[in-house]
Structure 1
């Protein structure tokens, strides 16, 4: 092989010989250093030598990025490696692997530090708004409101009534680090909240459990909450009973007093809402979210936004239809308010409690009115599946779940019967007539 002293001019002028795919020019100063030119005009410095009797050729780089002295220095380095009995390619691979391992170790250390910092600083109050915002598009307005209410700080002037709003059940945990949300800590919180508001405490705990599951599914928050925190024995011991509130329903003999007090309420919207709640068996929020667009007075039906099925259509029975048709159409809501921020009936519970006191009846929740519908319907011998479909209960039997979806007319036949029986027991003589409807109280 002909050798020359590499100069800038010789490197620039060197070209591949005509008819060949590549040509070589070898340097006299650095053993094994060559310049390769290909038929397409590409050039590169190479190093050629033998290791254990086997020839090897290693590309150093282009003359555009390697000057002659640098290429010669690299060739000499590779020659030393070979003289030491090592394969430069393997040495390079090992060096790259070591460098990669070093970079990965640095990244792992930084990630561990970041996780440690989160363990030391990230609180429930910091993560909860992120959680709610990430799920907002998938949740109903009611569920969003629940998740916002349980963490409200309180201390704000009430919109209705005097005094300040109370903190939500989870407010006392907002400053607690996620890493400190142990089963013991949650159990202590649950025990304290269950003493004064067991229903809200149970709801808040369910929402907290879902939040913890979400944290575990997010790379950013996974592992921050101690494993099994919401399933610990301390938590199970403090969980409020799921049993229905004893006596939280109207008895047949109480209907007359209840209807009299509710119909005499000063707020006609609240009065209609409470009566409709009892006579339809809907959930309080489902009925409160009823829009005029959901009403069909021609075909006597109403569409309920259902938390189980999404929505369901139930009959609009004569007396309830009479009540709703008489309500003012101030906005889109059937049960509207001229004073609330969103135009909806805000909180009918205080008015209901005053009516109960006036009637001399024991305390009864709004959910108790829904429970009353299901209980009172048994007096009419209405099939349980019909009552469940009207109320929006999830089907419990295989036949109900897969084969029984009753048409609206069949539901109406039974629902009208239930409404008429309840009104009779309440002493209300309601006679729907073709030109309109009139209501009279039995003597």
Structure 2
């Protein structure tokens, strides 16, 4: 049975309470560390020593659930908030405190809640939201978010009234996408924006956005860096097919030399070029300057510049460089690097810079990162470079001391 807040009611009937858990009850400060304990074989109950009624149930199977126990009109009820995998200790404590506070005010006269302006279904709200909000996104963001709405959000939430969507629905949806974690991570921010905007329109109560505090899946992002031998094989493949796909080859070379995003290269215009920079009026992170080293400038100088000195540098169709989409899979097979994506050229650019001793901050500027934490994914490369330098220094000192390095 569900509670009005979207949580699950459990143990309202004493027969449903596992007695072994009750007999193994203890009181301590509940935290993430307690929730991560590996406990199996014995059912337990942990009650928080700071917030009465807030607890953690551990089943004999090792499964754990945050719970809150309260008395409603003389009947003791135990409400399941969720598992530690989807609800951290802080969020569980806040949810428990909210339910306990609400229960304490049960029966006390309250100011009537402001009625919602309307109660549309999620499906009906999509077009209203899109008409108002989508114009503030870039074209690529519009395409990505529309796909998330139509293929991920609408099939799951379309049956619900907009005002009824709660945290339990979000967690259930998250569980359904356990095998497609990237899909959930991309769609969650879109849903959060949609429900937040619905509050402003009066379709939901103010401050009721259930996406708040829902963690994304932690994923191991793919890391693929080209070696020196792989760079040489790719250079040969590009030279062999340059006559067939001149625009695609030029685009790939610019990606290699600049570390730029694919969209930043495929949209380049002649009027933006002021060596040693390309002044991009727009990018994923807004306007920025793209540094053009002499190798990148050489690629541009080999192109035929129109007399007017304006227009796109690479021939494109619908924003895509001709032959790049089907040419890259062939080129990487020719170079014996079938697992390398075009975006991996950007990662490899960063890798080479860091291994050559360039700081993370400067690499971030070259890549056009706005936030330092975006560049932090390459921190382990910087650590490896420092460790290698330490080995070389210690080797030189050992040689000077007449010791075997």
TM-score (norm 1): 0.49
Q: In structure 2, what is the Cα distance between the partners aligned to 1:191 and 1:349?
A: 34
**Secondary structure class of the residue paired with 2:290:** strand
Q: In structure 1, what is the Cα distance between the partners aligned to 2:138 and 2:240?
A: 34
Structure 1: segments with no counterpart, 5+ residues = 1-107, 153-167, 398-443
The structure 1 segments of at least 4 consecutive aligned residues displaced by more than 6 Å after TM superposition are 328-331
Q: In structure 2, what is the Cα distance between the partners aligned to 1:276 and 1:242?
A: 29
The 5 A counterparts of 1:12-411 are 112=115, 115=118, 118=119, 121-123=120-122, 125-152=123-150, 168-173=151-156, 175-177=158-160, 178-193=162-177, 195-196=179-180, 198-216=181-199, 218-223=200-205, 227-231=208-212, 236=215, 239-245=216-222, 247-265=223-241, 266-296=244-274, 299-304=275-280, 305-308=282-285, 310-327=286-303, 332-337=311-316, 340=317, 342=318, 344-345=320-321, 348-394=324-370, 396=372
Residues 134, 392 of structure 1: CA spacing in aligned structure 2 closer, same or farther, 3 A cutoff?
same
**Secondary structure class of the residue paired with 2:179:** helix
CA contact (8 A) 2:364 2:372 kept: no
Shift of 1:393: 1.4
Residues 366, 194 of structure 1: CA spacing in aligned structure 2 closer, same or farther, 3 A cutoff?
farther
Q: In structure 2, what is the Cα distance between the partners aligned to 1:113 and 1:307?
A: 37
- What is the Cα-based RMSD across aligned positions, in Å? 3.5
Q: In structure 1, what is the Cα distance between the partners aligned to 2:335 and 2:203?
A: 53
**Secondary structure class of the residue paired with 2:235:** helix
Aligned residues, how many? Answer: 255
Shift of 1:388: 1.6
Q: In structure 1, what is the Cα distance between the partners aligned to 2:325 and 2:189?
A: 24
Rg (Cα) greater in structure: 1
Residues 219, 129 of structure 1: CA spacing in aligned structure 2 closer, same or farther, 3 A cutoff?
closer
Q: In structure 2, what is the Cα distance between the partners aligned to 1:262 and 1:169?
A: 39
CA contact (8 A) 2:248 2:322 kept: no
Structure 2: segments with no counterpart, 5+ residues = 1-111, 374-405
Residues 127, 345 of structure 1: CA spacing in aligned structure 2 closer, same or farther, 3 A cutoff?
farther
